[in-house]
Structure formats: C-alpha cells, structure tokens
C-alpha cells in the first residue's frame, strides 16, 4: 500500500488556487485510474485503487494546510505503511511555474502543510513532490505576502502550463510506483 497525499485547502474559494496544486494531481490520478474519493471523515477524503500491481490510497486532507499532518499520520497508522511508502504533493513558490521537484525527504521549505506532516510523523524523511507555482513579485510580497499569493487563483494564461504540469506530476508518481524514486527524480525533476 502506498499513500499519495495531495495538499490543498477545502472550500470552493480555494479550488483553483496555487495552494491546491496537490489536489490537482490527486484529481488527475483519480481520473486516470478510475478512483473515487468516496470515503470521508472530518480530516480527509480517500480513494483506494491500483497503479499497475501497486495498491494506493489517494488522499486529500480536509483540514486547512497547517493541520494536514493529522490526516497523513492517521492513514499511515491505519494502513501500516512505512515513511518511504508515502508521497506528499505540495505547491512550491520557490520553483518556477511548471517545474517539478521530487525528493526522498528533506526540509519543509517553509510550507506549513509539510511542516505539519513532519511534526505528526516525527520525521522529515518521507518522499515529496513539489509542484512549482511561481514566485510572487516584490510588489505582491509587500501588498499581500506569500499567503495572499498562494491563495490566489492561477490566471487564465497560466492554466495550460498548470494542466501540463499536473499531468507530468501524475506521470512522475506512476513512474515512482512502478519503478523507483531515483529514476523518477532523474526523469521528472526540472
């Protein structure tokens, strides 16, 4: 069993925001593998299925970003998976729009969802896929800060690249599941 967790915020007002890039990837994997996120409790929605021979749980935490770790820790214990069997997809404003960065572990990079997960798991050493959402301009940082930037929807001009990046992120996850993390990193990082 592998847990694939896409980070995002619940609520229609956040549906197309940069902070919900992880949810875009979960939606793409659900579509590709005919998985429905049907099982829901207060902390998460989850759908079970397969990628090749690998059983997966696709997860969308339903808490706000800074509490995402509750869902991940709960599902890790319930399904008895190891840290290396968890992959978390998050937005990253330090990566240019359209870039992906797959890693075996590491810092939270200031991302509150990743910080919450590391706290709840007691480790930073779990795979993660960072989805580049672009960096706010100096003016945007001054006027609304990074929080305002990640909670703003992508523009119509950005959507084609967002959709392409979402597909490549799903491809990277499928590669990881059916091959290995290092190969996926070599193939999809950049």
Residues tagged active-site: 19
The set of residues, in sequence order, having a beta carbon less than 8 Å from that of 90 and lying 6+ positions away, is 7, 21, 22, 111, 113, 114, 128, 129, 130, 131
Pull the structure tokens for residue 159: 């959507």
C-alpha–C-alpha distance, residues 112 and 101, integer Å: 18
Q: Two tokens at 173?
A: 């996850």
CA 119 to chain centre: 17
């Amino acid at each position: 069993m592998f847990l694939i967790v896409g980070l995002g915020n619940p609520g229609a007002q956040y549906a197309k925001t940069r902070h919900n890039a992880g949810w875009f990837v979960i939606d793409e994997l659900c579509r590709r593998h005919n998985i429905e996120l049907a099982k829901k409790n207060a902390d998460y929605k989850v759908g079970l299925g397969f990628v090749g021979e690998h059983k997966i749980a696709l997860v969308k935490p339903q808490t706000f970003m800074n509490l995402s770790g509750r869902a991940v820790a709960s599902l890790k214990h319930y399904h008895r998976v190891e840290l290396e069997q968890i992959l978390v997809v998050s937005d990253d404003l330090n990566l240019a729009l359209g870039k992906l960065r797959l890693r075996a572990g590491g810092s939270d990079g200031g991302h509150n969802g990743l910080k919450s997960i590391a706290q709840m798991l007691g480790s930073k050493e779990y795979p993660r896929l960072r989805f580049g959402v672009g960096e706010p301009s100096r003016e945007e940082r001054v006027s609304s800060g990074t929080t305002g930037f990640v909670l703003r929807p992508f523009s119509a001009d950005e959507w084609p690249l967002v959709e392409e990046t979402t597909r490549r992120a799903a491809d990277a996850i499928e590669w990881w599941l059916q091959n290995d993390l290092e190969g996926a990193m070599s193939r999809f990082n950049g």
